[in-house]
Structure 1
């Protein structure tokens, strides 16, 4: 969905000191396949003692219920640390704390192509139309966080081309070697 290269996801996880557990799903994946693959991956974690899974959802009740239902089937609990937080306040915190993120996918029905490949900063949030949620909670945009608290170092990349596909604008992020400037 987001179109971020796997190499960048691996570098992001490494910079954060986290293990990356990839769950492969086919393009245009239907829910039964998605749910079966996620359940298989989560059961492996359950067998290793993991009982809770954190999500970054903020206010979509149906999505929260869906996640809770799927986790309950395998004996796990969902936690939502930023649930019902004001999204404008969350964006201010994001910038103030020094996180750096770039838009990698933009819903063309909601935002124009100029929002793809932009840094999430005060200018971005100023330019965002009033009808769009500043955290993209309704799917207006998706991001790649590449630096900030918890990162050992920024994830190096260069911004590639923006392409239109299936009603979305995707910005390609091209991995750079460690040590190259961002």
Structure 2
């Protein structure tokens, strides 16, 4: 939904990024099989980059892996990220705090939007 919303704005992603449980090969937050996400990325024509997390990753290991990816993105010239978060204020705050040291600006195009037509 966030990607669809962006078709009407100047922001458009160059790459899709997701965290994956390396043991189950599923998107960590939603449990989606990685094969399905790869097919979706292929259909829309965007490269998919996966941040592989160990099974039962602690917050410390998550942040270590995620910060490494953010550093990589920054070194490649990325300055903005887009999240599909809608309502969880603490998660939004956490994402903003994570990105601040890398000078990457987070965008939340669906924030507090109604998802029903």
TM-score normalised by the chain length of structure 1: 0.46
Q: Give 1:67's match in structure 2, choosing from 68, 91, 95.
A: 95
Query: How many Å separate the matches in 1 of 2:65 and 2:105?
Result: 18
What's 1:101 paired with? none
The partner residue of 2:116 within 87, 91, 94 is: 91
Structure 1: where are the runs of 5+ without partners? Answer: 93-182
Task: Please state which structure has a larger fraction of its residues in helix.
Answer: 2
Bigger CA radius of gyration = 1
RMSD, aligned CA: 1.3
Per the TM alignment, residue 7 of structure 1 is displaced from its structure 2 partner at its CA by 2.2
Alignment of 1:40-119 (within 5 A): 40-86=68-114, 90-92=115-117
Mapping for residues 128-139 of structure 1, pairs under 5 Å? none
Unaligned runs of 5+ in 2: 1-27
Aligned-pair distance for 1:47? 1.1
Cα deviation, residue 61, structure 1: 1.0
Q: Please say if 1:27 is aligned against 2:55.
A: yes
* Alpha-carbon shift at residue 59 of structure 1 (Å): 1.7
